[in-house]
Amino acid sequence: MQINLLSDTVTKPTEGMLKAMFNAEVGDDVFNADPTVNHLQEKIARLFGMEAALFFPSGTMANQVAVKIHTQPGEQLICDKWSHVYNYEGGGVSFNSGVSCNLIDGERGMFTAEQLMEKVSNREDIHQAITTLVTIENTANKAGGACWNLKELKKIKQVCQQQDLALHLDGARLYNALIAKKERPQQYGVMFDTISICLSKGLGCPVGSLLLGSNEHIKKALRYRKTMGGGMRQIGYLAAAGIYALDNHVDRLVDDHNNAKKVGAALEASSVIKKVEPVETNIVIFYTNDDIDDTDFVNKLASENILITGMGQGKLRMVFHLDITNEMVEHVVQVLQKL
């Protein structure tokens, strides 16, 4: 029994999802003729109270297109130093859009409106790049799936309105935050100019993300997606998985959160673990003691059929998802107790 905690992207489609995919009605999406992807796009736009949405093969492409929509070459975006768009998208913001990142030294991947205001460039100073975009990542991956405070996000939105800045949400795991904080999609739809949602993480789809925004934004996104090679054909088979996930896999995210907290507690009780980040959703970030090589720790768990991610400098990650059973969780806890 292999227990894969490397990421929530490793899931396989459930039987119900496979059936929905197999029975999907499809057409050529490049000609806007795939009824299933059109239904998915309309469905999620309606859920968030936004005008339109567009299907993407990956969350990275959705984020990159959002940056392209909101910026011009030579400008800058502001994000946290742990942000996915800065750390894990291959330098795409500079390669695709010609913009730089002005980084905020936030707390666990999150920053305040006050910190944001201090970073906005003076547009009268020709030596500085003009700030045009702010990006938020919720949940914050590198912080262990941490959830932003909605009140602080509203303050950040006010700063963006005052400074004429676009606001994009990298909501790869937003549904985890919605479940954990008991919030509603519409509360985010009214705040952000664009939102990316990943279907292949906690929601359990084999592939796919969505970008939400205004009709004008999505019209631009369609062109930019094409230039990046994201124009697909009979993608209704993939969209059907997304529809199934939105209907069946959202409420069950609480199971992943509970499993993460159970293992997080076992880690905190272990004498070989120095620190465990607060566990809010489905990600557990922890640190081994200074005298323990983190690579050895990863290999030790692998010998027990438990796969986890080493992030360097003693920092490790476990991610829980719908393929992790109660039996698997109990095995992980037992192994940790024996270390």
* Span 146-191, pLDDT tens digits: 999 999 999 999 999 999 999 999 999 999 999 999 999 999 999 9
Per-residue confidence band for 57, with pLDDT thresholds at 50, 70 and 90: very high
- pLDDT of 71 higher than 80: yes
pLDDT of residue 312: 78
- Burial 28-60, CB ≥16 within 10 A → b, else e: ebeeeebebbbbbbebbbebbebebbbbbbbbb
Per-residue confidence band for 126, with pLDDT thresholds at 50, 70 and 90: confident
**Architecture of the 15-248 domain:** 3-Layer(aba) Sandwich (3.40)
Report whether 146 contacts 110 (CB < 8 A). Answer: yes
Mean pLDDT computed over 79-89: 96
pTM above 0.85, yes or no: yes
**Which is more confident, 237 or 125?**
237
Q: Among all chains, which residue has been given the structure tokens 């800058």? A: 76
Mean pLDDT computed over 44-73: 98
- pLDDT of 294 higher than 90: no
List the domain boundaries for the chain.
Answer: 15-248, 252-338
Mean pLDDT computed over 278-299: 93
**The pair of three-digit structure tokens given for residue 286, joined into one six-digit string:** 């922890």
pLDDT of residue 1: 83
Mean pLDDT computed over 187-214: 97
Report the DSSP pairing between strands 315-319 and 76-80.
unpaired
pLDDT of residue 313: 77
pLDDT of residue 68: 98
Per-residue confidence band for 254, with pLDDT thresholds at 50, 70 and 90: very high
pLDDT of residue 35: 98
- pLDDT of 118 higher than 90: yes
DSSP collapsed to 3 states, the chain: CCEECCCCCCCCCCHHHHHHHHCCCCCCHHHCCCHHHHHHHHHHHHHHCCCEEEEECCHHHHHHHHHHHHCCCCCEEEEECCCHHHHCCCCHHHHHHCCEEEEECCECCECCHHHHHHHCCCCCCCCCCCEEEEEEECCEHHHCCECCCHHHHHHHHHHHHHHCCEEEEEECCHHHHHHHHCCCHHHHHCCCCEEEEECCCCCCCCCCEEEEECHHHHHHHHHHHHHCCCCCCCCHHHHHHHHHHHHHCCCCHHHHHHHHHHHHHHHHCCCCEEEECCCCCCEEEEEECCCCCHHHHHHHHHCCCEECEECCCCEEEEECCCCCCHHHHHHHHHHHHHC
Mean pLDDT computed over 242-264: 98
| Whole-number Å distance between alpha carbons of 2 and 272 | 23
| Whole-number Å distance between alpha carbons of 207 and 58 | 7
**Architecture of the 252-338 domain:** Alpha-Beta Complex (3.90)
| Whole-number Å distance between alpha carbons of 63 and 65 | 5
Per-residue confidence band for 314, with pLDDT thresholds at 50, 70 and 90: confident
What percent of the chain is modeled with pLDDT above 70?
100
